[in-house]
């Protein structure tokens, strides 16, 4: 389990890193959300601990939620009721005012690690050419090497697979992937689709798996999917749809 500590305060970063290591996690640190994003460690973290000023907390949470759904702990000084509410509504899972007792911080972080472990979906695969590993969030094409997917990329696949063979509207994807209002981020869908295709498509300019349905949305190619739950294969339709 990988914990990302985001803090520009060395003492706070060191404390959270020690706590995360003590509860058995690997730790990656970044001085800010921008740095974490540029280093591509933000999207791959299993749990995120953010240390932020009161003025920057809300913007930092919103920025994080644009890239990952990982459980998020926010610590901030002077956490008013209004800010506390806004931070949680923007996507934080827990928000606490610092300074606080290390025992409380340890319990909070342990709770999020436990939640992240329980969030791991059941194993499944996309048959034939494309195979997914839901526990490591990787995709393998044919006999190629596994390609790491971010939590958002994997969540997008889950949403499309749940409606396989049927187009999913961008507005629906926004609500089910980011939990935003539809008008808040349909442009995010296009960017996420492009990122996903860049990782799983043999030729992203000619997608074979994630298909654009003009005027309707996006779909996983029908007939390419077999679900594997508890080692029981669900039947799959072998029909094909045209590439778009």
Q: Is the pLDDT of residue 24 over 80?
A: yes
Percentage of the chain with pLDDT > 90? 22
Q: Can you tell me the distance from the alpha carbon of 178 to that of 189, in angstroms, rounded to the nearest whole number?
A: 10
Q: Is the pLDDT of residue 181 over 70?
A: no
Structure confidence at residue 154 as a pLDDT band (50, 70, 90): confident
Q: Can you tell me the distance from the alpha carbon of 164 to that of 234, in angstroms, rounded to the nearest whole number?
A: 13
First to last CA, the chain: 38
Q: Is the pLDDT of residue 239 over 50?
A: no
Indicate the range of 70-74, 139-143, 162-166, 229-233 predicted with least confidence.
229-233
Q: Is the pLDDT of residue 122 over 50?
A: no
Q: Does residue 125 lie within any of the structural domains?
A: no
Q: Does residue 149 lie within any of the structural domains?
A: yes
97 and 150 in a common domain: no
CA 54 to chain centroid, in Å, comes to: 25
178 and 96 in a common domain: no
pLDDT tens track for 32-65: 999 988 887 887 788 999 999 888 888 999 889 8
Q: Does residue 147 lie within any of the structural domains?
A: yes
Indicate the range of 149-153, 185-189, 204-208 predicted with least confidence.
185-189
216 and 134 in a common domain: yes
Instruction: Please report the pLDDT score of residue 79 as a whole number.
Output: 86
199 and 107 in a common domain: no
101 and 11 in a common domain: yes
Tell me the average pLDDT of the chain: 79
Compute the C-alpha angle 141/239/235, nearest 5°. 80
Structural domain that includes position 151: 130-233
Percentage of the chain with pLDDT > 70? 79
State the Cα torsion 11-25-36-192 to the nearest 10°: -150
Q: Can you tell me the distance from the alpha carbon of 27 to that of 15, in angstroms, rounded to the nearest whole number?
A: 12
Q: Which of these three, 118, 150, 170, is where a domain ends?
A: 118
171 and 139 in a common domain: yes
134 and 94 in a common domain: no
Q: Does residue 12 lie within any of the structural domains?
A: yes
Task: Report the domain count for the chain.
Answer: 2
To the nearest 10 degrees (0 to 180), the angle between helices 10-22 and 102-118 is: 60
Domain at 68, CATH number: 3.40.50.2300
Domain at 138, CATH number: 1.10.10.10
- Cβ neighbours of residue 123 under 8 Å, at least 6 residues apart? 133, 134, 135, 228, 229
Q: Which of these three, 118, 140, 162, is where a domain ends?
A: 118
Q: Which of these three, 83, 118, 153, is where a domain ends?
A: 118
Q: Does residue 240 lie within any of the structural domains?
A: no
Q: Can you tell me the distance from the alpha carbon of 45 to that of 26, in angstroms, rounded to the nearest whole number?
A: 10
Q: Is the pLDDT of residue 111 over 60?
A: yes
79 and 32 in a common domain: yes
- Cβ neighbours of residue 11 under 8 Å, at least 6 residues apart? none
pLDDT tens track for 72-95: 999 998 888 999 999 998 889 999
Q: Can you tell me the distance from the alpha carbon of 225 to that of 211, in angstroms, rounded to the nearest whole number?
A: 14
Q: Does residue 244 lie within any of the structural domains?
A: no
Structure confidence at residue 4 as a pLDDT band (50, 70, 90): very high
Indicate the range of 18-22, 83-87, 183-187, 216-220 predicted with least confidence.
183-187
């Amino acid at each position: 389990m990988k914990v990302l500590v985001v803090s520009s305060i060395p003492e706070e970063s060191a404390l959270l890193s020690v706590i995360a290591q003590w509860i058995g996690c690997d730790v990656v640190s970044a001085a800010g959300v921008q740095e974490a994003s540029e280093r591509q460690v933000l999207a791959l973290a299993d749990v995120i601990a953010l240390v932020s000023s009161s003025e920057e907390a809300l913007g930092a949470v919103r920025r994080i939620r644009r890239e990952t759904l990982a459980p998020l702990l926010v610590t901030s000084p002077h956490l008013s009721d209004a800010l506390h509410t806004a931070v949680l509504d923007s996507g934080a899972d827990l928000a606490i005012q610092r300074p606080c007792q290390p025992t409380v911080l340890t319990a909070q972080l342990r709770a999020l690690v436990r939640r992240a472990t329980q969030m791991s979906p059941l194993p499944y695969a996309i048959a034939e050419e494309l195979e997914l590993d839901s526990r490591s969030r990787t995709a393998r094409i044919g006999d190629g090497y596994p390609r790491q997917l971010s939590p958002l990329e994997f969540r997008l696949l889950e949403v499309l697979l749940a409606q396989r063979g049927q187009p999913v509207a961008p507005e629906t994807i926004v609500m089910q992937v980011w939990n935003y209002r539809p008008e808040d981020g349909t442009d995010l869908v296009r960017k996420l689709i492009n990122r996903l295709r860049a990782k799983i498509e043999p030729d992203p300019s000619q997608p074979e798996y994630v298909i654009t349905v003009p005027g309707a949305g996006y779909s996983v190619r029908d007939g390419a999917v077999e679900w594997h739950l508890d080692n029981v294969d669900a039947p799959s339709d072998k029909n094909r749809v045209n590439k778009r």
